[in-house]
Chain A
Amino acid sequence: MKLVDHLVYRLLGMMLPVIGVWSVACFLMQIYEIYDGIDEGLINLKQEFIRQANTEPGFVNDMEKHNPLNIIVKKADYDSVKHLEERAYTGMVYFATEEEEEEVRLLETAFRCDLNGQYYTLKIFTSNVESNDLIKNILYSLIAFYFVLALTLIFTGKKVIRRATRPFFHLLEKLEHFNLDEAGMIDFPKTQVKEFNALNNSVKKLLENNIRIYNEQKRFIENAAHELQTPLAIVIGKLELLINRQDIQPEPLKEISSALNILGKMKRLNSSLLLLSKIKNKQFPKSRQLDLSDIFMQVFDDYRELTEHRRLKLDVYRQGNPVCSMNPDLALIMVSNLVKNAISHNIPEGTIRARFSTDTIVIANDGNHHVQGDDIFERYQTRSDQSQTLGLGLSIVKSITDLYGMEISYKYDRQHIITIHFPDNRRKTG
């Protein structure tokens, strides 16, 4: 659920019952006022009636005899009326013209005529129809008013909340697209709201810290690898001078040679790390349109002697030309790492299969070992049968595919299959 909707519904959940209760109260008050007005009129009429009854002899008798339309007066004895309280109520009266009972407002009371000392009960009533219409109208307009108010609340509430939370959503959108690798600080919109400013400032501080730490780490790895190059070069140079001395004995020679071997590993590890951080730092900017299948064939040809030596077969199937815009050096590094991987982890007399289409390259090689999932693209994934392999080759491939937004996946189906897919290819090549 969206925040705006959530807030509006919460607000409505609070407001609508309150407004509802208020409307009902208002309605009841209106009804009370209306009846109160009618009753007031009836009471006035009653007082006028009693005044006339007390001053004009025969008035009550006339009234009792003629029985005017809205007054019913009857003789009563004291005992039946001594507990009667004056009351106004809504009741039914039969109207002959309508041939049915109609609702009326009644005032029921009793009085003693001063002229003859006789007690009477008196019912005065008035038609209720107009007031009922009025009440109906009030009710309908209240209900309409209620719904209009609710709708207005929803729309204006959404609008107001949306406008008020704009800095928040702006920040959210920026954060969604934030990438540490790109290292650019996001711009924060100016806002009058104290809390949004505080949020922006906290996020800014957090990001700045992260960017700083990330860059420091990146620089550290880069510098460490870079600073190691010269000492490594010196040590290797000195040991190579040593093994070329005329007076060197076989034993020290072997020892030094194995030290050189280790140093060689270190050197390659180091330069792979340097390459990785350079790819991550986007230090290969210049791109052009390249056909990866051409590069593959060229790289494969460079390793021809090695594949012939291991008696590997190559099986190429070209459905289309995988052309994409890449830095030529990176394309070469990517493809040659894939080829080297397919050669190194093959079995003797195995097969390397390459499939090319306009947006996908698939390179598969025979091999016995099933490697779990996409782990093979992680750094330092080594296989037990390949103690010499440092396992950085495929993570270099992965970082290159990441750089160009390509998808890389691995699966094992009797052979190791690596698939690289570049979805935006068709758009670029038309």
Chain B
Amino acid sequence: MKILVVEDEYEMLKSIEASLLSEKYLVETATDYSSGIEKALVYEYDCILLDISLPGGSGLRILDEMKKNGITANVIIISAKNSIDDKVSGLELGADDYLTKPFHMAELHARIKAVLRRKQFDGKDVLALGNVLLNHTRRQVSVDGRPLEMTRKEFDILVFFAANINRLITREALAENVWGDHIDNADNFDFIYAQIKNIRKKMKDGNADIRLKSVYGVGYKLIIDS
């Protein structure tokens, strides 16, 4: 999987690059409009992470140029401007998702995986984690072919973990993934804890190969037992 990151903030770029490399992606980077558009038009990428405000021009113009040249890559806009207009015009120009800075790396991975999945499986959107199958289209989970009953939020949480195997997910990143940006209530953490407890019980009862491991009260990690 080849990913292009167009981001002018060097330290930000380094963090994203490091995080993507840990997931075994091939990563290329561009730090301004001209190098960004050059790479986007010349090479093929599975996914492009595109900042909007770039030196030399707008990321939206890169999108526009790609569209004019018939290039259909998966594009996730990453912008510090949580502007609805940018979001709308970005999505209209063919971007697949819009992520507002600051974001959690786990969230970025989840978004990239979702975008890649949609492209690769084309309907048969199923992910195998050991003996656990996650069917994203039908929102169903099965262990060894036996379906597991899961609530909406439990399924969302499991999908989020599945995009971040072996990565420590803080309770905060989890709460944000489940409730969106603006929930900031301590009560959500015990809600999250209750959800995790339910998922664990269901996985254990179904003899699943995956488990959600607590990490020092900081967060959780999805581990596949092989």
Question: What per-residue 1/0 map shows which CB atoms of B163-206 lie under 8 Å from chain A?
Answer: 00001101011001001011111111001001100000000000
A residues in contact with B183, CB < 8 Å: 340
Is A272 interfacial (CB 8 A cutoff)?
Answer: yes
Within 8 A of A (CB), among B81-108: 81-85, 100-106
B184 pairs with A390, CB closer than 8 A: yes
Cα–Cα, bound, A215→B101 (Å):
25
Of the A-B pairs whose beta carbons lie under 8 Å apart in the complex, a sample of 28, sorted by A's number, is: A229-B80, A230-B102, A234-B9, A234-B15, A237-B19, A237-B105, A240-B170, A241-B19, A243-B218, A244-B22, A244-B167, A244-B168, A254-B218, A257-B219, A260-B170, A260-B172, A264-B172, A264-B176, A268-B182, A271-B82, A271-B100, A283-B84, A303-B179, A305-B151, A305-B191, A329-B84, A388-B184, A393-B182
A233 pairs with B184, CB closer than 8 A: no
A residues in contact with B128, CB < 8 Å: none
Question: What per-residue 1/0 map shows which CB atoms of A370-401 lie under 8 Å from chain B?
Answer: 00000000000000001111100100000000
Is B11 interfacial (CB 8 A cutoff)?
Answer: yes
Q: Which of A232, A238, A389 contacts B184 (CB 8 A)?
A: A389
A229 pairs with B188, CB closer than 8 A: no
B residues in contact with A75, CB < 8 Å: none
Is A220 interfacial (CB 8 A cutoff)?
Answer: no
Total A-B pairs, Cβ < 8 A:
118
A residues in contact with B168, CB < 8 Å: 243-244
Known pairs A233-B103, A236-B102, A237-B15; A305 contacts B152 (CB<8 A): yes
Chain A residue nearest to B217 in the complex (CB): A254
B residues in contact with A271, CB < 8 Å: 82, 100, 181-182
Is A194 interfacial (CB 8 A cutoff)?
Answer: no
B185 pairs with A253, CB closer than 8 A: no
Q: Which of A253, A284, A310, A337 contacts B187 (CB 8 A)?
A: A310
Known pairs A236-B104, A310-B187; A257 contacts B218 (CB<8 A): yes
Chain A residue nearest to B10 in the complex (CB): A234
Is A2 interfacial (CB 8 A cutoff)?
Answer: no
Known pairs A250-B216, A254-B218, A271-B82; A240 contacts B184 (CB<8 A): no
SS of A interface (majority): helix
Cα–Cα, bound, A284→B87 (Å):
13
Known pairs A257-B218, A306-B191; A233 contacts B182 (CB<8 A): no
Is A355 interfacial (CB 8 A cutoff)?
Answer: no
Between A234, A253, A386, A390, the greatest number of chain B beta carbons within 10 A of the residue's beta carbon is seen for: A234
B191 pairs with A241, CB closer than 8 A: no
A344 pairs with B185, CB closer than 8 A: yes
A residues in contact with B85, CB < 8 Å: 283
B153 pairs with A268, CB closer than 8 A: no
A residues in contact with B106, CB < 8 Å: 240
B residues in contact with A306, CB < 8 Å: 179, 187-188, 191
Distance of B11 from chain A, by nearest CB (Å): 5
Is B26 interfacial (CB 8 A cutoff)?
Answer: no
Cα–Cα, bound, A393→B85 (Å):
22
Is A226 interfacial (CB 8 A cutoff)?
Answer: yes
Is A261 interfacial (CB 8 A cutoff)?
Answer: yes
A residues in contact with B83, CB < 8 Å: 283
Cα–Cα, bound, A295→B181 (Å):
18
Cα–Cα, bound, A343→B80 (Å):
30
Cα–Cα, bound, A238→B179 (Å):
24
